[in-house]
Amino acid sequence: MTLVATLLLGVLIGLSLGALGGGGSILTVPALVYVISEPARAATTESLVIVGLTSLVAAIGHTRAGHVRWSAGIVFGLTGVIASYAGTALNSHVDPNLLLLAFAGLIVIAAVAMLLRVPRPATQPTRVTASVGGGGSADLTSDTPIDADSSTGADDSIRPGAITPAIVVKVVAAGLIVGFLTGFFGVGGGFVIVPALVMALGFQMPIAVGTSLLVIAINSAAALAARSGSETFHWAVIVPFTLAAIVGSLAGKSVADKVSSLTLTKAFVGLLFAVAVYVAIRSGVALNG
């Protein structure tokens, strides 16, 4: 039964990573703790292996579609390496139940961030000329939906002249935040990376999603390296979970092509809020007990 749960959870998390570029990894730790019964600290380490490998495979798939900007992803990822070591060091000094309670708050933040980043149709007046009696004409104005991505004119490449000090600050700040979250909680941080790539570098959503997977892989590898030698890896859990997540991530792009990002995000955000409430209750009871 545990193996079946492991496989199902892996596929679900992989689907989110492949389709949305983030969000799914934040469910890995609660899944390992409350479904697979792994200790909280061990779960954050195992999550790094699962999320890192899954993101790397998903990034390769997005590369074939031209959705990964390697230079930007590598720079973004390396920015967070030092912060990931700091997060890892702090992780070992925090009570496991307090860690999970903080994790519940992080899940809520991730859910809200995912909702805010979803592009919504904009409207603009469209002028239509219609014939009227007497040979004259009249202007009829209506609100026509305009696709948000096409209306923004966002570029998916970095022009040398477009790099300003403000953009550098944003990228560095986002990189440090993601690195710390990866080291401390064992999460990928895609819910921070994707908006940062869109707002700071002007990437279109597909490019931001693909590039975020590369950043997640780099940060996960760095945080994992910081824990090597001091953690025990339960490969009987990690291997099937990771394989299922990889399969899910490969299917994620197909799902994204068939279902709108708004529908996918709303459904997943609902799941995130439910998980956050559950984790908060369980960890809060444990702390007070």
pLDDT in tens for each of the 289 residues of the chain?
A: 578 888 888 888 888 777 766 666 788 888 888 888 888 888 888 888 988 888 888 888 888 888 899 988 898 888 888 898 899 889 888 898 898 899 899 888 888 887 776 655 544 444 444 444 444 444 444 444 434 343 334 444 444 445 678 778 888 888 898 889 888 988 877 777 887 888 778 888 788 888 988 998 998 898 888 887 767 788 888 999 999 988 888 787 677 677 776 777 787 788 888 888 989 998 888 888 6
Give residue 117's pLDDT: 66
Give residue 258's pLDDT: 78
Query: Which range of residues forms the domain containing residue 35?
Result: 2-288
Give residue 144's pLDDT: 40
Q: What is the pTM of this model?
A: 0.74
Place of tokens 């779960």: 43
Give residue 163's pLDDT: 65
Nearest of 58, 84, 35, 64 to residue 220 by alpha carbon: 84
122 bridge partner residues: 146
Give residue 60's pLDDT: 86
143 bridge partner residues: 125
How many independent structural domains does the chain possess? 1
Q: Model confidence over 113-150: pLDDT tens digits? A: 877 766 555 444 444 444 444 444 444 444 444 343 43
Q: Model confidence over 31-61: pLDDT tens digits? A: 888 888 888 888 888 888 988 888 888 888 8
| Alpha-carbon gap, residue 233 to 60, rounded angstroms | 25
Tokens of 234: 């339960």
Whether 250 contacts 56, CB under 8 Å? no
Q: How many angstroms separate the Cα of 6 from the Cα of each of 2, 28, 216? A: 6, 10, 22
Tokens of 268: 């997943």
- Looking at residue 246, its amino acid is I
